[in-house]
Amino acid sequence: MDDDDAEDLVIQLCTRIGMIMEDTSVLALTVRGMDQVGRRAALRKIEQAAGRIHALVTAAKTLKS
């Protein structure tokens, strides 16, 4: 893979990271109005999003090494 291809993939991964962050931020900001069950569910979804973000960052870092 040449540098241009790797750069394009890193950009795509970072774009996806931003999309996940944007979607998850709405959920995180609405936790205040949730009951305990809803809050637990929201925290699980936030945790899952954090895991996806971590995986994408790891992939992007691997492409740039």
Is the residue at 23 inside a domain? yes
Global pTM reads 0.88
CA atoms within 13 A on the CB side of 44: 6
Tokens representing residue 20 in the block? 């996940």
Place of tokens 């893979």: 1
Is the residue at 2 inside a domain? no
37-60 pLDDT tens trace: 999 999 999 999 999 999 999 999
Q: What is the pLDDT of residue 11?
A: 97
13-31 pLDDT tens trace: 999 999 999 999 999 999 9
Split into its structural domains, the chain has a count of 1
Please state the rounded mean pLDDT for residues 4-9. 92
Is the residue at 9 inside a domain? no
Is the residue at 8 inside a domain? no
| Contact yes or no for 58/17 (Cβ under 8 A) | no
Which residue range forms the structural domain that includes residue 27? 14-63
